[in-house]
Chain A
Amino acid sequence: MNILTKLAVGASATAMIASAAAAEVSDGKVKIGVLTDMSSTYSDLAGNGAVVAAEMAIADFGGTVAGAPIELISADHQNKADIAANKARQWGDSEEVDVFAELVTTSVALAVFEIAKQQNKIALVSGAASSPLTSDACIPTGLHWTYNTRALAVGTGSAVVKEGGDTWYFLTADYAFGESLERDVAAVVEAEGGQVLGSIKHPFPSSDFSSFVLQAQASGAKVVGLANAGADTVNAIKAANEFGLVAAGQSIAALLTFITDIHALGLETAQGIQLTTGFYWNLNDETRAWSARFNEQTGTMPTMVQAGVYSSVMHYLKAVEAAGTDDTDTVLAKMREMPVNDFFATNGQVRSDGRMVHDMYLARVKSPAESTGPWDYYDIVRTIPGEEAFGPLSESNCPTK
């Protein structure tokens, strides 16, 4: 056989497999389950906005995929892994849900991963941060879409060192997430030739940061890294502002900050903070158009988590359409094969370890004078290429990669 015949045989075999796989959509519908935090700490950055984003993706797709209607179901997991596991299992067992989306906080994502693995369903993680979701804790059907702690560390850490912020002091939330974030960032800072002068752990959650901020100030470090999240970050920044930390020449690197946090703080307090984000509404015409539509429904601008939910659901639906079936393995193969191209990501790529690699952005929060309108909060300082942010595939310890 010459090469041409081989190719022809291969192609027809592939076509046969493809037509066999294009069986049907199971249960006559594609059902998306959005599991998010509607009432607790993360309801601002995910919550209802994440459900709206998923609804928008379904509406934009036209409401049907591969000839079958698309349904959406959502639930509040209250940041509790057991509630999340219970819901996800129920959805998979008796509600014919094909895909789980959003899944903020790592404990929830890990719990749902366990269910998704058992039931062979796809999990689209947007809100959870931990890098191990696509490394030690990965599952074949779990995709991590928006960001992770490694990207935050590389993004903010190396950028800040390159700009001359070569001495660091950490304010770290005293639990696993804070510690791992500090560790990741410290490694990046030292690799870039910077120096970590010290760190202090604060209880989680904490409301009084005065003593911690004073120690950070006394350390003489050029950069104070906040390895915490949510209300802790907001409180730490407020305290830093009261003690004039930024005014005295130190800068704050808030390692995990969402635009809703900045909105809560106000520019007066938050100005000058550097952060890494997977999405900013005011990047280009496409992001502005989508965000304006989002704003009409929710009254806020989308966080990267919410935009990521739209993107991940959209990509899933495109893959189902292209595959002609909602069979998990076929759809997964399609999702990996097709590049992610939408307002959220350009040429994003779903890797075999489940990581969606896309460009991240290093941003600096504007001063009130620089801001020209509501929600005009960030100056995008640098675009961080996906490969640099998320690291090469060889770095992942995922056994099924």
Chain B
Amino acid sequence: MNRHSLMGHLALASPLVLLMCFLVYPVADVLGQGLFSGTGTSFYDVVVSPVTQRTFTFTVIQAALSTALAVLLGLPGAFLIVRLRFRGKSVIRAAMIIPFVLPPIVVVVGFLQMFGAFGILDSLMMAITGSPVSVINLAAGLPGIVLAHAFYNIPLVVLMVSASLERLNPEVEESAELLGASHFQNLRRIVLPHIIPSLLASAVLTYLFCFTSFPIVLALGQGSYMTLEARIWYAFRYFDYGEASSLALIQILVTLSLAYSYVRLGRMRQQGIAPTSSAKQVGLRDLNRVQVVLILAYLALLAFLVAGPIAAVVRSSIYDPLTRSYSLAGFENLLSAGTGGGLVPLVNSAFYATMSTLFAVALGIPLAFAHRGSKNPAASLASIMALLPLGVSAITLAYGLMRAIVVPLGLSSNPWPVIIVAQTIIGLPFSARSIEIALRSIDPALLDQADLLGASRLQKLFFVELPLLAPGILVGAAFAFAMAIGEMSATLFIALPQNVTLAVAIYQNLGVRKFVEAGAGALVLVVTCLVAFLTIDRMTSGSSGGTL
């Protein structure tokens, strides 16, 4: 092995080593201690407990229902985004990412104001039916959970499916039409097979998110509904490390197998993709009245479901429900540097999220390269490692990082580097995946060409591969950034007051009834990510979802 290939192997191995240190080791440490030290409930007792079984069943079912709803509602959106010509499309596409960055508490509040008893929807229904009492409350129980999950995940379905739809060569559809296929046949025989892998992949990802969902389930579940993740959190709170670890292990096993199928679907999807974006488009004017009505109805539904809670956030940033007046105090607070001011969380959030995005990209690139050599065991290891964060509960990770990294290294009174570690890990699946797919769509002839023109490995990387990966890197970075800046569970556990992030500050401000401050913080999160995604959408000419 010469020096260069040694360096190459080191570069590829470094993310794996880092993940071993900062993900596998801390989590294994917690799980090992919980499962084998004999404190708390044993694995066997956890598995046979009816509470666990019910929780597991509910987790599976609510995730399935949420996924079904998200896919059902997201699919028409994907078609509209691709096929319908309208102004402001890129803004809508970028706005799709907003749910990702909203802290769950903000979603819950938005949901209550939109769908709760006497919320906007209910008031409307009451006005229509003339009923003096609440007619409909969709922000509670199973419907609430499923709707909120749909709110989180519809955008994912829309972004991923529309990206795949954009790559369907219009000639294929046209020739099918010439061969006498009806619209429906065309959809079933041509379009559906083309988008099915991306549809499935988005469904698996949605399922994963819902499976590990925790704050939403707790907030809207009225105590009756719990996910495994919620029970893990319960167990940690009552210091039952045996139960926490057992449940975390079960969750890792389930989610990893799902994550693995997601990777497989991603591979499948890769076949026969032309990076074209010449999809057939129609203007609203070309459609008949029934179609227009259907589209408008769908858009109204989507606006209600997705835009409603967002609108509630915007309103809450300037409207104080306590004094029933409008004020800009929230934004002033964001610029106030003192204790309790919003500037520290703002700077913290920006710093942690930027750093962890950088690291997520820096680790994602070698992971993607390691993954590319799809035959060797390192490749499988790389893909599993990149997906592991999707399956490890945030609280388990945070606890592990505290035990295994923060305290032994004496970082207890200054733990910010570990917050960045946690946020990096949480964003990594997105950056790695996005870069990996971008890497696979590079024409191998370009690399051969660079080779023949005398480029060294590094020159090839810097002058050809990285520039070509740039769109994938940007998209991955945007998702990693969104995940990092919206992250709360792990940050909450690790952070000291001086490390508070915007997401955490929002939660705290709501807690002490500083509504406009919370609202302004949420609005900043929303706007930051909106701007980031708009920029990226411009730079990658509109296929942001395609590389997930």
A binds B: no
Give chain A's interface residues, CB within 8 Å of chain B. none
